[in-house]
């Protein structure tokens, strides 16, 4: 009885494959389940064994690519950590607001291999506080400025965001910069309320992307804000 059931099952499989000759092509994972012995198999089975080998080779290649990506990402994170660490040490060495802003705008661009950096500080009073003019992309905006609506999502999340800017966001941050901004890392500065926005831009569309880790960027922003408060700018921002 068992032999009959087995023969019937085999017949059904045969009939199904006859009706669906492309089944194994559409379901390549099934090949890995087949036991194929090329030495004992008929000639028409050899191609299946070859397909099975190719499938396994593709899997090995895919796993190897994933491993390489993980290693590259680990190296990248380590390098980023070191750059942020060095930059924060330079922040701590600053003796005044002018030197702090210079380190931020010049060294940040260099350390992150960026094409442009923008700093926007918010103020709540009737008049913006005076800050040193270091000939950099720095500006002050009133906290109620309607232009900041373009950053509602960023400011509400209070976390760095990497990716593309909208046209309105570019207008606020990089309207006077003579480069084609393709990707950006945006950091909200301070917490409840936000005291400003720091943006690191690149002409490379893949330089800053949504899958990037932002922990180190958050730390960088926090250290910078502490330094601003040290120079008595906390009455106006944050």
Count CB atoms within 10 A of the CB of residue 17.
12
How large is the average pLDDT for residues 103-108?
92
Beta strands in the chain (DSSP E): 116-123, 138-142, 161-163, 183-189, 196-202
Q: Which of the pair, 171 or 26, is modelled with greater confidence?
A: 171
pLDDT tens profile 152-170: 989 888 899 999 999 999 9
Decide if 93 contacts 227 (C-beta within 8 A).
Answer: no
CATH number at residue 202: 3.30.450.40
pLDDT of 100 reads: 95
Q: Residues near 49 by Cβ (< 8 Å), separated by ≥ 6?
A: 36, 38, 41
Residue 7 maps to a domain: no
Residue 42 maps to a domain: no
Residue 184 maps to a domain: yes
pLDDT tier at 75, thresholds 50, 70, 90? low
Per-residue DSSP letter, 191: S
pLDDT tier at 1, thresholds 50, 70, 90? very low
How large is the average pLDDT for residues 11-16?
77
Q: Which of the pair, 189 or 127, is modelled with greater confidence?
A: 189
| pLDDT at position 25 over 80 | no
User: Domain count of the chain?
Assistant: 1
pLDDT tens profile 171-203: 999 998 888 999 999 999 987 678 899 999 999
- What value does the mean pLDDT of the chain take? 82
pLDDT of 99 reads: 95
| pLDDT at position 101 over 70 | yes
Residue 68 maps to a domain: no
Among the residue ranges 6-10, 113-117, 142-146, the one predicted with the least confidence is: 6-10
Count CB atoms within 10 A of the CB of residue 162.
19
pLDDT tens profile 78-94: 777 888 889 999 999 99
pLDDT of 174 reads: 95
Q: In b/e form, how buried is each residue of 76-105, taking b as 16+ CB within 10 angstroms?
A: eeeebeebbeebbebbeebeebebbbbbbb
Count CB atoms within 10 A of the CB of residue 51.
16
Query: Could you give the angle at which helices 215-230 and 43-92 cross, rounded to 10 degrees?
Result: 10
How far is residue 211 from each of residues 122, 160, 161, 163, 208, measured CA to CA in Å? 28, 12, 10, 9, 9
Decide if 163 contacts 184 (C-beta within 8 A).
Answer: yes
CA distance 81 to 177: 28
Q: Residues near 195 by Cβ (< 8 Å), separated by ≥ 6?
A: 121, 122, 189, 225, 228, 237, 238
Residue 223 maps to a domain: yes
| pLDDT at position 2 over 50 | no
pLDDT of 48 reads: 63
Measured between alpha carbons, how far apart are the two ends of the chain, in Å? Answer: 82
pTM of structure: 0.68
How large is the average pLDDT for residues 133-143?
92
Domain that residue 215 falls in: 95-230
The closest of 156, 153, 158 to 168, measured between CA atoms, is 153
pLDDT tier at 118, thresholds 50, 70, 90? very high
| pLDDT at position 131 over 80 | yes
CA distance 150 to 137: 19
Residue 170 maps to a domain: yes
Residue 36 maps to a domain: no
Can you tell me whether residue 137 is helix, strand or coil? coil
pLDDT tens profile 36-48: 555 555 555 556 6
Residue 192 maps to a domain: yes
Per-residue DSSP letter, 139: E
């Amino acid at each position: 009885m068992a032999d009959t059931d087995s023969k019937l099952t085999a017949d059904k499989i045969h009939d199904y494959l006859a009706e669906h000759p492309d089944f194994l092509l559409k379901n390549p994972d099934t090949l890995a389940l087949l036991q194929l012995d090329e030495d004992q198999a008929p000639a028409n089975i050899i191609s299946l064994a070859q397909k099975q080998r190719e499938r396994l080779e593709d899997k090995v290649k895919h796993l190897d690519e994933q491993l390489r990506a993980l290693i590259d990402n680990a190296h990248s994170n380590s390098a980023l950590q070191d750059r942020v660490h060095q930059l924060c040490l330079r922040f701590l060495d600053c003796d005044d607001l002018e030197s702090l802003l210079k380190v931020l705008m010049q060294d940040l661009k260099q350390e992150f291999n960026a094409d442009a950096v923008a700093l926007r500080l918010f103020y709540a009073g009737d008049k913006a506080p005076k800050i040193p003019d270091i000939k950099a992309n720095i500006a002050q905006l009133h906290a109620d400025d309607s232009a900041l609506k373009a950053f509602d999502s960023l400011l509400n999340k209070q976390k760095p965001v990497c990716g593309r800017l909208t046209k309105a966001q570019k207008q606020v941050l990089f309207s006077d910069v003579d480069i084609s901004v393709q990707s950006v890392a945006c950091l909200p500065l301070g917490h409840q309320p936000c005291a400003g926005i720091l943006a690191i831009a690149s002409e490379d569309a893949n330089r800053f992307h949504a899958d990037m880790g932002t922990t180190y960027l958050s730390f960088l922003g926090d250290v910078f804000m502490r330094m601003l408060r040290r120079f008595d700018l906390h009455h106006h921002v944050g």
